[in-house]
């Protein structure tokens, strides 16, 4: 089999590696327009803030390493057209790459480009920003956008000594339509001397020395669309549960493709590195002849905001209401360890459907235990657990790690009062 993969990084390289394991005789060519095919894009803000010393530490595997596995990786190479009737990918150089199966992993691009602003989407973006910070004395910086990348950019710039403000055109942070969560985050940012302006569209120059634009992403779908591949209601590539497009033999994975939301069962576009890696793995398996199914996503994500861990999964109450559920919620604060172990307050909101009792979503704010707790809720959502089932989960207890009643269980008990 001849396999062509358009796009590297998470989805594309995961797909290529899976095909190589399943089909030792496959001829695999990866077409990547950037200079590096396999790196951790999610680690870029931490190179900017200094916790990663060298960007090369973010490289998961070099092109030479892939070559040892007989995967040809062409970096600095751009695909400009797909001729599926001929089973060819045409490159900007004019060369045609033949294929029997094709995987599209073209990722996403910024939804809006601000002249003179820096971005933090690709390795090249990060290099340009890092070089600027290295030679420019700290001053006033503005971050445009209140999503995950925007909040990570705030952290990174503060670590470099810059005075930062955050501006977003939306009414909330993290895009969950959660007014209380947004208010909590705004108060926390203000305490960290990061002023926040909501509902403000930036249409002109800003009175600031540095601008980082993080206004969101759009799926990179032009190449696929021009080839006759259907897009879904989200604007990303529509795929089956096996990640195949409407053109037989062409698969799509990662930030360019839709997935299914585990709560609603409807198509959704949530571009995350974890999702891209899983989709790439399954797309590679199916291109190799298997019939593996991608189950979907709960939208689980986590970010650190000026020292505060923020984890989310599933739907917020307002999102659940828009999807036709009857949401009820409970918010609690409880210590993540016993008081005598200097436990810190953790804030949790659980959301459930009043009619069925099914868990729909959560957010967790706190310290080191945030990831573990939001992952527990994500697991419960995946297994369609009810609040009644959730409240008696057998969670680990020992004073150095958690209180006897974990904050998740305290939240579930409060939520049960609505039933």
**Enzyme catalytic residues:** 42
Maximum Cα–Cα distance for the chain, whole Å? 70
Alpha-helical runs (H) found in 23-135: 44-48, 63-68, 123-135
Contact 388, 336 (CB under 8 A): no
Q: Which residues of 48-67 are buried (b: 16+ CB within 10 A; e: fewer)?
A: bbeebeebeebbbbebeebe
> What's phi and psi for 177, nearest 5 deg?
60, 30
Contact 66, 16 (CB under 8 A): yes
What is the C-alpha separation between 172 and 345, in angstroms, rounded?
23
Contact 126, 41 (CB under 8 A): no
Contact 374, 300 (CB under 8 A): yes
What is the C-alpha separation between 76 and 418, in angstroms, rounded?
57
Q: Which residues pair with 166 in a beta bridge?
A: 143, 196
Rounded to the nearest 10 degrees, how much is the dihedral formed by the CA atoms of 361, 298, 378, 190?
Answer: -60
What is the C-alpha separation between 55 and 52, in angstroms, rounded?
7
Contact 13, 107 (CB under 8 A): no
What is the C-alpha separation between 199 and 305, in angstroms, rounded?
20
SS3 353: strand
What is the C-alpha separation between 163 and 154, in angstroms, rounded?
9
CB atoms near residue 326 (< 10 Å): 12
Contact 160, 49 (CB under 8 A): yes
Nearest to 317 by CA among 274, 350, 291, 346: 350
Alpha-helical runs (H) found in 289-331: 317-322
Residue 174 token pair = 């993290």
């Amino acid at each position: 089999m001849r396999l062509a993969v358009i796009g590297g990084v998470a989805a594309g390289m995961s797909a290529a590696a899976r095909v190589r394991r399943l089909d030792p005789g496959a001829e695999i060519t990866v077409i990547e327009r950037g200079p590096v095919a396999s790196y951790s894009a999610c680690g870029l803000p931490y190179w900017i803030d200094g916790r990663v010393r060298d960007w090369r530490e973010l490289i998961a595997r070099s092109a030479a390493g892939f070559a040892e596995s007989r995967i040809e990786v062409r970096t600095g190479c751009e695909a400009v057209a797909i001729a599926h009737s001929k089973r060819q990918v045409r490159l900007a150089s004019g060369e045609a790459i033949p294929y029997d199966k094709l995987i599209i992993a073209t990722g996403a691009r910024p939804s809006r480009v601000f002249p003179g602003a820096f971005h933090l989407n690709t390795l090249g973006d990060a290099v340009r920003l890092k070089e600027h910070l290295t030679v420019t004395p700290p001053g006033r910086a503005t971050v445009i956008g209140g999503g995950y990348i925007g909040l990570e950019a705030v952290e990174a710039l503060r670590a470099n000594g810059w005075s930062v403000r955050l501006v977003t055109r939306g009414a909330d942070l993290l895009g969950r339509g959660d007014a209380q969560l947004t208010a909590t985050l705004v108060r926390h940012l203000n305490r960290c001397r990061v002023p926040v302006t909501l509902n403000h569209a930036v249409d002109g120059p800003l009175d600031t020395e540095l601008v980082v634009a993080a206004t969101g992403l759009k799926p990179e779908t032009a190449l696929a669309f021009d080839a006759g591949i259907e897009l879904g209601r989200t604007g990303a590539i529509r795929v089956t549960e096996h990640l195949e497009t409407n053109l037989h033999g062409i698969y799509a994975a990662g930030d360019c493709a839709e997935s299914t939301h585990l709560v609603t069962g409807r198509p959704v576009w949530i571009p995350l590195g974890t999702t891209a890696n899983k989709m790439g793995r399954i797309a590679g398996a199916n291109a190799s002849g298997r019939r593996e199914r991608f189950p979907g996503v709960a939208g689980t994500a986590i970010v650190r905001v000026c020292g505060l861990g923020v984890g989310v999964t599933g739907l917020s109450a307002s999102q659940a209401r828009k999807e036709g559920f009857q949401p009820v919620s409970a918010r609690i604060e409880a210590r993540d360890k016993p008081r005598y172990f200097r436990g810190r307050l953790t804030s949790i909101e659980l959301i459930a459907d009043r009619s069925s009792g099914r868990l729909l979503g959560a957010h967790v704010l706190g310290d080191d235990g945030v990831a573990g707790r939001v992952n527990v809720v994500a697991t419960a959502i995946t297994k369609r657990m009810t609040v009644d089932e959730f409240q008696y989960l057998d969670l680990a207890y020992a004073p150095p790690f958690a209180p006897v009643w974990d904050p998740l269980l305290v939240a579930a008990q409060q939520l049960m009062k609505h039933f």
